[in-house]
Structure 1
């Protein structure tokens, strides 16, 4: 007793390419298990099985184009004679496996790992994951049957696939660094063949921050929005404050104002002050405002945190910036001084540049980059006038923030920095 399984109603689509076959001949499947994956334009869909049974024959291949009614496979009813393998699994299952047309799907333990073998494993098709996650795992050669899902009802998320890859493919200490994410490692080169060289040990901070930055870059879909703020009037006022501050032993920098303005922008656009929930289905909205700032030290980059920045004025923020920066340079920062940030600012203003792409410091969802301000001619409606313009580079996690919201955040920030009176509201 066999049943023809055909492509069901897929809407107005026709001649849709088959991008993946998620099962194999001999597999025993349950009702609603995914069979194939179709892709039309930018939409990907899985075709589920209408019934339980054992796959007798697959009638199409990857790359074939199908429409509603196209034959996918022949399904043998579990209760038929042909399904007797279920009655004697210990005797029949090995035989069925040996007769399968592609036994290489299950490599022996001594064989070298093969990504194609992993992704065609029967368990892959039964895994609880979305089409995009399946495509992502297949690209990396990850068997979803081996991945633990952290989403709702055990659903496998993209982060779970990445975590599995990192945990199973982490190089041993001292091994050459690989590209990660299934990317082939950069080949080792003997540079001494071309001239004198020396190996310089990375600082402890670089060794610790490097993997964290790599993890954030691999896990977060980064987008960077560039803009400029007119800080002509603000900088004039800042210089007045700084002159008085010097007499009291501290300095007032542009960063103090940016922190104050950022808090106001975060309150207006709360998504930037959130984190993605571990289940991937919601955002964790934070009702506190801790602003991290990148500090350049002799030992590498460190990120101290201004706690409860929304409750502090410009003078208090300026003094805390100076105190934490000094502690960072002197190697005296405590772990609590670098924890709990909800938003980070990385300033290269004292060095130069016009823009850059700062890496989001997960689990935060955004980071603001500042480069050196410059005097530029700006049209005021009548003529071009010289104005001091501050470049802004906002990187964000596109899962939590879209482009329109990022643009609104920068408009809010520009408005606040352009009129310092609004910082007092």
Structure 2
């Protein structure tokens, strides 16, 4: 007998087999899921319509199948030949010949009893005359016969998780077999998957792994260096942000000649060691002006995933690389400060970071972050969003570009920028507007006061 793929829904002609949930020779019950399939927009489980034994699986993972196609060869199960009944009848004949014939007839609602009720009933009817050792032995045999399919399924690849959770785990490159569920009947939830990928899963199944130390030591000399608290905390936050936020990065190059000329002039005339001239304070001012025009960048996605919280204050963070690790101090109320005040506070926060004197208040409350590699090297990179912010601007090293203007060749200074944004909140058009606006503002030095 064949099991044919039923109609999935109107207009769905082809689906892909993403996972096979049964094995050949496995006994299953009506409404048990046999396949996990995916369409362009959804993932779903295909249930069987009868109690049966899987004789042959006719499809493979990755196959494209259609409604009406044979997917399994099955054999119907006759309830009278069920192992539960066979075992019960044998025990009744051998041990309870004096039982009334009425008691030998299984109740009409036998199929609907729980496994515990079935086991308990067999125990009370067939072990009253056995010794303790014999009773334990017989009970073990009966349990094996009563729930063979359950035992088999628990030791197979069958996982108690919905199609959407399975798909979510695959998207995160996460092996769902290594996760234990916190939901009813140990069902795996999206939160369990996130906890596992973030390293917070306290109930992950034990999977023995060979130590990397042993592996590398077998190849040559090594040295183990533990992460300090700052590095460990940063690693956890960065991993959580990268795995839970759909990052997209917009790359661009902006002309920066006018600002470069201003910076050179300020460096020559500046005599205040507390206000060391840098490009970053000007970038901070430019970003504030963009947040006023593109409000979506000054927001956060609430924990429910359905609410965007817009902010009307302007606190901008900047990444500082120190010997102890990465810190992100925040300049508060940028809208109320001059470029000179921002520069003085910028230098003060850098010194505090280098001296390990930053406070919690110094590093919280940011609306957006700027990460600069301009004093090192490189052209573009993908900065990781500092959650719960929705964007981060990366700036790289300024370079000279040869251009033709009025029939003559000349050089101009170009700044590579990389804007990573949370695609759940911000779309590509807004990101392109951001980088374009940054290029326009950064060349209007009269705005950067």
TM-score with structure 1 length normalisation?
A: 0.74
What CA distance in whole angstroms lies between the structure 1 residues aligned with 2:192 and 2:437? 35
Structure 2 unaligned spans of 5+: 78-106, 120-142
Where in structure 2 are the equivalents of 1:241-280 lying within 5 Å?
Answer: 241-247=266-272, 249-280=274-305
Contact in 1 for aligned 2:36/2:46 (Cα 8 Å): no
1:128 to partner: Cα distance: 8.2
Contact in 2 for aligned 1:97/1:103 (Cα 8 Å): no
Runs of 4+ aligned structure 1 residues displaced above 6 Å come to 71-76, 182-185
What CA distance in whole angstroms lies between the structure 2 residues aligned with 1:340 and 1:168? 28
User: 2:158: which partner in 1?
Assistant: 120
Cα separation, partners in 2 of 1:201 and 1:38, compared to 1, 3 Å: closer
Contact in 1 for aligned 2:296/2:425 (Cα 8 Å): yes
1:372 to partner: Cα distance: 1.6
1:229 to 239, 254, 263: 254
SS at the partner of 1:226?
strand
Structure 2 residue 16 is matched with structure 1 residue 17: yes
Contact in 2 for aligned 1:129/1:155 (Cα 8 Å): no
1:323 to 348, 357, 360: 348
1:85 to 99, 102, 111: 111
1:275 to partner: Cα distance: 2.7
User: 2:38: which partner in 1?
Assistant: 39
Per-residue CA deviations over 1:359-385 (Å, capped at 9, x if unaligned) read 222222322111221222234464433
2:389 to 364, 369, 376: 364
1:148 to partner: Cα distance: 5.4
Contact in 2 for aligned 1:147/1:161 (Cα 8 Å): no
Answer with 1 or 2: which has the greater Rg: 2
Cα separation, partners in 2 of 1:190 and 1:279, compared to 1, 3 Å: same
SS at the partner of 1:246?
coil
User: 2:168: which partner in 1?
Assistant: 133
Contact in 1 for aligned 2:385/2:391 (Cα 8 Å): yes
What CA distance in whole angstroms lies between the structure 1 residues aligned with 2:344 and 2:371? 18
What CA distance in whole angstroms lies between the structure 1 residues aligned with 2:17 and 2:323? 55
SS at the partner of 1:289?
coil
1:333 to partner: Cα distance: 0.6
Cα separation, partners in 2 of 1:395 and 1:65, compared to 1, 3 Å: closer
What CA distance in whole angstroms lies between the structure 2 residues aligned with 1:155 and 1:103? 19
What CA distance in whole angstroms lies between the structure 1 residues aligned with 2:290 and 2:251? 16
What CA distance in whole angstroms lies between the structure 2 residues aligned with 1:240 and 1:128? 62
Structure 1 unaligned spans of 5+: 108-116, 172-177
1:347 to partner: Cα distance: 1.1
Per-residue CA deviations over 1:43-77 (Å, capped at 9, x if unaligned) read 44325769xx875466865535432345678999x
Cα separation, partners in 2 of 1:138 and 1:374, compared to 1, 3 Å: closer
1:162 to 186, 191, 194: 194
What CA distance in whole angstroms lies between the structure 2 residues aligned with 1:345 and 1:294? 6
TM-score with structure 2 length normalisation?
A: 0.70
- Number of residue pairs matched? 384
Structure 2 residue 181 is matched with structure 1 residue 146: yes
What CA distance in whole angstroms lies between the structure 2 residues aligned with 1:155 and 1:370? 41
Contact in 2 for aligned 1:10/1:68 (Cα 8 Å): no
SS at the partner of 1:345?
strand
Structure 2 residue 365 is matched with structure 1 residue 337: no
User: 1:393: which partner in 2?
Assistant: 418
